[in-house]
Amino acid sequence: MGKSWFNGTTILVGFCSAAYILFFTIAILTLVMC
């Protein structure tokens, strides 16, 4: 139970960080293009 909760949290954190990095990259590309 505790292990699966930890695993789910890790996946959620990884997904959020990946989405943040993607958003940050798009923002930089937009600034460079404009």
| DSSP codes joined into one string, 5-25 | HHHHHHHHHHHHHHHHHHHHH
> What is the domain count for the chain?
1
Domain that holds residue 19: 1-34
Model confidence at 4, in pLDDT bands (50, 70, 90)? confident
Per-residue pLDDT at 21 exceeds 90: yes
34: which 2 tokens?
Answer: 């404009």
Calculate mean pLDDT across residues 3-17.
86
What is the value of pTM for the model shown? Answer: 0.58
